Each structure stands twice: as structure tokens, then as C-alpha cells.
Amino acid sequence: MLKGPIEGTEVVDPTAMLLTILGLIDRCWKVDLQLQNLYQSMEGEAVGPLYWPELSTDSQRINDEELENVFPVAFKFLDMWTAHTCMFFWATTIILWSGMTYTYKLLSEIQVSYSTNANKTADKAPPQFNITQLRTLGHRIDVATPARNICQSIEFCLGEEFAGVGARAATFPLKVAIEALNDAPGCEQELEWAQAAVTRLSQSGVRALKHLPVAMTDHVYIPV
């Protein structure tokens, strides 16, 4: 019986396991296409761009001189509905791409495990598969970019005209962005900025943030 890539586990049927993972990857690619089509539909139906960059005008955005320069540009949106939709799109994209990256990594580890054990067992032959046969993830390994987009949308959501509604809707996307930035090399300042933004959301009426059972950087939405 082959030893699995995760310590303490055993692979009973390598071929069945491989097919299950490949099926999951196929579904992920289909969801990715659906998300991109959805976003393109939004762009096609909108009167003008969905959002655009402007210099930040929020003098109270972060009470720290170093962090104030992390995102000098903020995003403006057609309306709050568009802002929420774009932020949820970016958050969902982060979750999906993180899952795809994790699954590719798992598949690569399984392949190495099969190769290592190929000559040590006679009852289960490793499946004839190489990860290079799969489509490359390309830009999908970069979850920091959509995470930054979420951060640059916070100022708009904290507008006084939205009376706290924007802050509450920004909570989930910001949590996902913080998880992604916490894992992304070289994003320490962006992460610190995002964590400081959590305080602002809390001050804007998102009381639940004061009672979260886990740290904002803990993995809840994206895989470890």
C-alpha cells in the first residue's frame, strides 16, 4: 500500500484519487471562466468604467505616516452596488486561485510520492500522469493583486454617505485580502495597512470585528 503525501495517510487507490483531484481542477477552471464572463458582462452593461483610480482624499484613512503611503491611490466606483460586487468578485477570485494553487501543489506532491514508492510496492502501480500535462496557472498564482484591489476600495466603502453599509459589506472581502497578503512574500506593508483598516471598519459600526474567534490573518477562506 502506498504512503500518501500527507504524513500518516495511505493511498488505497492511486488512480481513483488522481481522477478525483483532476475532476476538481477541471471544475475550478470552469468556475474561473464563469467568473471572468460575469465580470466582462458587468463591464459591458455598465455606463462607463466599473471603477477608476483617484488620489486618496481620506486624511484619516490610516494614522501612521509610513502606512499612509502604501495606497496613495483609491478606487472610485459607479455606486455602492458596483463597489460591493467588484470586491466580492476579487475576494472570490482569491479563494478560487488559492485553491487551485494548493491543488496543483498537492498533485505535484502526490506525483513525487508515487515516483518515490514506485519501486517499493507491487500491489499498486502509480498512475501514468505528469503535472506538466495540466494548463499552467499563469497569473492566477498572484492573489496579491486582487487583494490590493480590495484594499484600495475600502476608502470608497467608508464614505459617510453610506452610513456604515459600505463598511459592513467590506468586512468579508477585507478578511480574504488579509489572508492572501499574509501569505504573499513582500506584502508586509500592505498587510499592516489592511489590518489597520479593520479598526476603521470596526469604528464604522462593524461590531462583530471586535469579537472574532480567530485572528484576521488566520486561514478561514483560503487554504494553508
* Identity at 3, one-letter amino acid code: K
Please give the grid coordinates belonging to residue 8: 500518516
Instruction: Name, in order, each residue with C-beta under 8 angstroms of 157's C-beta and a sequence gap of 6 or more.
Output: 80, 83, 84, 87, 166, 167, 169, 170
CA distance linking residue 11 with residue 146, whole number of Å: 36
What is the per-residue pLDDT across 171-202, written as a single tens digit (0 to 9) for each?
Answer: 999 999 999 999 999 999 999 999 999 888 88
12 against 130, higher pLDDT: 130
Read off the pTM: 0.86
Mean pLDDT, residues 95-111 taken together: 91
DSSP for 76-109 reads: EESSHHHHHHHHHHHHHHHHHHHHHHHHHHHHHH
CA distances 27 to 75, 81, 97, Å, are 32, 28, 12
Per-residue confidence (pLDDT) for residue 51, from 0 to 100: 96
Give 2's pLDDT tier (boundaries 50, 70, 90): very low
Per-residue confidence (pLDDT) for residue 64, from 0 to 100: 60
What is the per-residue pLDDT across 42-63, written as a single tens digit (0 to 9) for each?
Answer: 999 998 899 999 998 875 555 5
